[in-house]
Copies of this chain bind each other. A is one copy, B any other.
Amino acid sequence: MRAALTAAARGVRGANPVVGAALLSVEGEVLHVGHHRGAGTAHAEVAVLDAAREAGTPLQDTTLLVTLEPCHHTGRTGPCTKAILRAGIGRVVHAVADTTDAARGGAAWLREHGVEVREGLLAAEALELNERWLRAQQQRRPFVSLKIAQSIDGRVAAADGTSQWITGAPARAEGHHLRTRVDAVLVGGGTLRSDDPSLTARTPEGELCTRQPLRAVMSTRPVPEAARIRGADGRFVHLDTHDPREALTRLRDRGAAHVLVEGGPTVAVAFLAADLVDELWLYQAPLLLGAGASSVAGLGIKTLAAASSWRGDPVGVPDGAVGAVGEDLRWHLRPAPS
């Protein structure tokens, strides 16, 4: 299961949880590992079975270890339960149960079909990997990523409001890649008026990426007809509310399972104060401004002991929670377990 957990952390969290799987020989040797690479791609179980098939590894007497209960559900991919049965796997061990309405029931179905199933190995670690993802599911809302691009001293704009571009080209390219991974990108009215962003996902050469997120603005004020965010592809959403829960409900109704909040500070604080941020992508440029809007202002925290606490999160990052991106730094964080 340790190998499966390590494999899981190579995946990316978002619409789907991170999941890893390992195939064990009867002697307990790890034959193959696999992980889920994000929404729309093969689940971890299928990935590891594919690896075994490709290598010609016989599957009889092997045990499949997986960090999350195999799904019994046809979404963008088929149910893992049937793939496991088809492959002739006789024994499955999963770390934690899948409690989501859509995918639950995989273990019971496998047992009915003669597969031996055990649960609970390294459950705490597996749960921690997807704690916030499971919470988002329980709250029937999309998984929320917050991206902040700030100076050394935590400013997202200079005194005169200029904010483009604080970070360098490599960090901005990562931001565009993140947009291709999510279902919706959300900004507030302040960002709309100051930056007039298009919110499209673009390559470093400025070409539109194939997969484009919904482009949402959360503002009770009208959105100018000429605003770039409107685009011409019908993927623009005006959320005329200040309530982040309401905004997420409306985006879920548009099919969004993963929302990226890109600012500004007012919108960031609305989501943070409601404990609706599941991960934080912090990009910091080697600049000092000494004035201008702080990235996060007005959380209602009065004393240090009450600070909102986070943890560096290496999941989905090639080189660990903290890394250099061009001249900038990237810190990937998740809320500290409560």
Q: CB of A173 within 8 A of chain B?
A: no
- Whether A52 sits at the interface, judged by CB under 8 Å, is no
Q: Which residues of B contact A336 (CB under 8 A)?
A: 286
Cβ of A224 under 8 Å from chain B: no
- Name the segment of A67-75, A129-137, A250-258, A295-303 touching the other chain: A295-303
Number of copies: 2
With A166-B304, A291-B301 known to touch, is A152 a contact of B310 (CB < 8 Å)?
yes
Residue A160 at the chain B interface, CB threshold 8 Å: yes
Give the complex CA separation of A1 and B294 in angstroms: 44
How many Å from the CB of A277 to the closest CB on chain B?
Answer: 9
Whole-angstrom distance between the alpha carbons of A163 and B164 in the complex? 32
Chain B residue at minimum C-beta to C-beta distance from A310: B286
B152 pairs with A282, CB closer than 8 A:
yes
Q: Does A276 contact B (CB under 8 A)?
A: no
Tell me the smallest distance from the CB of A283 to a CB of chain B, in Å.
12
Q: At the interface, yes or no: A227 with Cβ under 8 Å from chain B?
A: no
Q: Is the CB of A320 within 8 A of B324?
A: yes
Does A316 sit at the interface, judged by CB under 8 A? no
Interface residues of A in 288-320 (CB under 8 A from B): 288-291, 294-312, 320
In the bound complex, do residue B290 and residue A151 qualify as a contact, i.e. CB atoms below 8 Å apart?
Answer: no
CB of A178 within 8 Å of the partner chain: no
Residue A42, interface by CB 8 Å: no
A287 contacts the other chain (Cβ, under 8 Å)? yes
Q: Of all chain B residues, which has the CB nearest A269? A: B290
Q: Is the CB of A39 closer than 8 A to any CB of chain B?
A: no
Chain B residues near A155: list those with CB within 8 A: 154, 294
Q: Mark A256-285, 1 if CB is under 8 A from B, else 0.
A: 000000000000010010000000101010
Answer whether residue A153 sits at the interface, using C-beta atoms and an 8 A cutoff.
yes
- A298: which B residues are within 8 A, CB to CB? 290-291
> A309 to B287, Cβ gap below 8 A?
yes
- B residues within 8 A CB of A145? none
When distances are taken between beta carbons in the complex, the residues of chain B under 8 Å from A320 are 324
Cα distance A303–B323 when bound, in Å? 27
- Chain B residues contacting A162 (CB-CB under 8 Å) are 303-305
CB pair A324–B312 under 8 Å, yes or no, is: yes
**How many angstroms between the C-alpha atoms of A151 and B272 in the bound complex?**
15
- Knowing A159-B302, A333-B152, the reply to whether A307 touches B321 (Cβ < 8 A) is no
Q: Which residues of B contact A295 (CB under 8 A)?
A: 152-154
Interface centre among A166, A282, A287, A298, by most chain B C-beta atoms within 10 angstroms, is: A287
**Chain B residues whose CB sits within 8 angstroms of the CB of A299 once the complex forms:** 288-291
Given A154-B152, A288-B272, A290-B269: A331 touches B329 (CB 8 Å cut-off): yes
Q: Are B150 and A154 in contact (CB under 8 A)?
A: yes
Query: How many whole Å from A280's CB to the nearest CB in chain B?
Result: 8
Does A187 have its Cβ within 8 Å of any Cβ on chain B?
A: no
Would you mind naming 13 contact pairs between A and B with Cβ atoms under 8 Å apart?
Answer: A150-B153, A154-B154, A154-B294, A154-B295, A162-B303, A166-B304, A286-B311, A286-B333, A287-B304, A288-B308, A290-B299, A320-B324, A322-B329
Q: Which residues of A contact B (CB under 8 A)?
A: 150-155, 157-160, 162-164, 166, 269, 272, 280, 282, 284, 286-291, 294-312, 320-324, 327, 329, 331, 333, 336
